[in-house]
């Protein structure tokens, strides 16, 4: 029977699966597709240049053995990389793996420019929170890869983070944007990458900073007429980690200066790592030229941890604190607290504290008592219908009036507030919010949110409306 690309690759996968861990197989080999077999050369398609680099670095020997078993000593392997047309190049990148061509592979890699730095790098001006003599990385050493447990919910982000830590500025993941909801580990992972880089490359200048502090520093530099010093300082960083980059929304001056800093770092082979609570496509009031750069590298999402990962997290905390509790208690906590890692940690720590302070045995009854109280304190899922009810009651309207076409000022404001809080508290799209609040379109919702943002800063009475309703929704 004639061999096809698919049949050869299928047999290679059987061999590979027997020789590596299951998680590694799922992550690095399941996404690969066989596309062509021509003159003993098998072509496979991989999702990105990063996949190619990773396979080259970690699995080239395994691939060679597997392919030789199927096609003999003259076997060759070609990569076809699916590339977005970022730079106008529509041709797939291909390269050969056989040992007699290894040098050819190496010469294709892009050399990262080496910038000579003064080891006594000084801050060109005093920045609050950063030491004035040697740059303090502002990293938390407690956040490491060792205690960032891998699961299906974070595997891509963690693997990408490890790749960046091993080769900062030298992978396709530049920038690396890590995004996801509250308490899922964005900040932890960002710190872990920085800590690992400092450990492996002590000579590199790494800086972690929140977007909020970055913005404040920029404002201060404008006031003191030291804007150029501010830019120069950030251009000297080898690895820049900006946390909560969505905070730059609506801040055109800060976005402009970050755009120039980003371009300089990227062009000079420096690494940029960003975290955000939303994907680039969902960021509002961020300039398109900046958003396009966020998409140059990889956007990796952190999801809510699955049950197995939650179990592992709890066991890791207990091991770290030297505490033993029955397996059924661990399973109970993991089954009942699903939202994020932070709440999971809080619950198990509360359970241990209750047991210690009250000298009570950790049993299922105590676990139920603690978890019940904890879950009650966790902000519950708020629906668009519930928001409309709270807003209508506050303004003493009925929901029909709120959703009506009337243009009376107090009704319009109530409707805009309902849309604003629906966007804030729910995961619904703008179109869905508009549909549920009087059959409006997404543009109306977007306009409502901008109007509320503007009025909050200019109208004291309106700000009180927002604060009052916010408190009611947070109860």
C-alpha to C-alpha distance for 274 and 290, rounded to whole angstroms: 12
Q: Residue 4 annotated as binding? A: no
Phi/psi for 153 (5° steps) reads -75, -20
Residue labelled with tokens 């409006």 = 440
C-alpha to C-alpha distance for 439 and 407, rounded to whole angstroms: 15
Q: Which residues have C-beta within 8 Å of that of residue 193, sequence separation ≥ 6?
A: 161, 164, 165, 176, 241, 273
C-alpha to C-alpha distance for 350 and 344, rounded to whole angstroms: 10
CA 322 to chain centre: 31
Helix (H) or strand (E) holding 292: helix 288-294
- DSSP assignment of 404-420 equals SS---HHHHHHHHHHHH
Q: List b or e across 223-247, with b for residues whose CB sees 16 or more CB atoms inside 10 angstroms.
A: eeebeebbbebbbbbbbbbbbbbbb
Q: Which residues have C-beta within 8 Å of that of residue 188, sequence separation ≥ 6?
A: 143, 148
C-alpha to C-alpha distance for 176 and 48, rounded to whole angstroms: 14
Upper half-sphere CA count for residue 213 (Cβ side, 13 Å): 12
Q: Residue 187 annotated as binding? A: yes
Instruction: Quote the strand ranges of 136-266, DSSP E.
Output: 176-180, 206-210, 239-243
**360 prior amide bond cis, ω within 30:** no
Strands 298-302 and 271-276: unpaired
Q: List b or e across 59-87, with b for residues whose CB sees 16 or more CB atoms inside 10 angstroms.
A: bbebbeebbeebbeeebbbbbbbebeeee
Binding residues: 183, 185-187
Residue ranges of the annotated binding site for ATP are: 183, 185-187
């Amino acid at each position: 029977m004639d061999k096809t690309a698919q049949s050869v690759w299928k047999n290679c996968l059987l061999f590979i699966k027997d020789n590596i861990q299951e998680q590694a197989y799922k992550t690095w080999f399941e996404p690969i597709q066989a596309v062509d077999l021509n003159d003993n050369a098998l072509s496979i398609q991989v999702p990105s240049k990063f996949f190619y680099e990773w396979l080259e670095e970690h699995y080239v020997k395994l691939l060679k053995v597997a392919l030789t078993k199927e096609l003999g000593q003259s076997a060759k392997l070609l990569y076809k990389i699916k590339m977005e047309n970022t730079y106008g190049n529509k041709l797939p990148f291909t390269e050969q793996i056989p040992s007699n061509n290894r040098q050819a592979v190496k010469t294709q890699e892009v050399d990262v420019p080496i910038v000579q730095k003064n080891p006594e790098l000084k801050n060109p001006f005093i920045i609050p929170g950063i030491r004035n003599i040697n740059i303090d990385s502002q990293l938390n050493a407690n956040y490491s890869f060792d205690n960032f447990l891998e699961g299906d919910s974070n595997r891509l982000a963690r693997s990408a983070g490890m790749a960046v830590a091993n080769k900062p500025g030298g992978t396709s993941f530049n920038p690396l944007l890590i995004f996801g909801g509250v308490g899922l580990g964005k900040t932890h992972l960002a710190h872990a990458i920085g800590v690992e880089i400092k450990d492996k490359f002590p000579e590199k200048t790494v800086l972690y900073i929140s977007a909020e502090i970055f913005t404040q520093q920029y404002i201060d530099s404008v006031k003191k007429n030291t804007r150029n010093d501010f830019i120069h300082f950030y251009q000297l960083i080898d690895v820049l980690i900006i946390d909560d980059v969505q905070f730059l929304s609506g801040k055109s001056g800060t976005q402009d200066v970050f755009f120039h800093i980003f371009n300089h770092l990227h062009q000079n082979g420096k690494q940029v790592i960003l975290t955000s609570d939303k994907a680039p496509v969902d960021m509002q009031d961020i300039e398109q030229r900046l958003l396009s750069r966020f998409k140059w590298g990889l956007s990796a999402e952190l999801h809510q941890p699955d049950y197995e990962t939650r179990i592992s997290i709890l066991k890791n905390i207990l091991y770290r604190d030297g505490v033993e509790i029955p397996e059924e208690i661990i399973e109970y906590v993991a089954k009942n607290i699903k939202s994020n890692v932070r709440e999971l940690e809080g619950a198990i720590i509360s359970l241990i504290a209750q047991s210690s302070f009250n000298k009570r045995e950790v049993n299922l009854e105590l676990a139920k008592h603690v978890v019940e109280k904890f879950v009650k304190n966790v902000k519950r899922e708020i629906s668009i219908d519930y928001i409309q009810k709270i807003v209508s009651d506050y303004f003493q309207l009925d929901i029909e009036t709120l959703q009506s076409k009337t243009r009376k000022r107090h009704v319009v404001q109530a409707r805009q507030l309902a849309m604003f809080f629906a966007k804030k508290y729910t995961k619904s799209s703008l179109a869905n919010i508009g549909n549920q609040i009087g059959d409006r379109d997404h543009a109306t919702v977007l306009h409502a949110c901008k109007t509320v943002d503007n009025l909050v800063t200019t109208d004291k009475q309106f700000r009180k409306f927002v604060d009052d309703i916010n408190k009611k929704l947070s109860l």
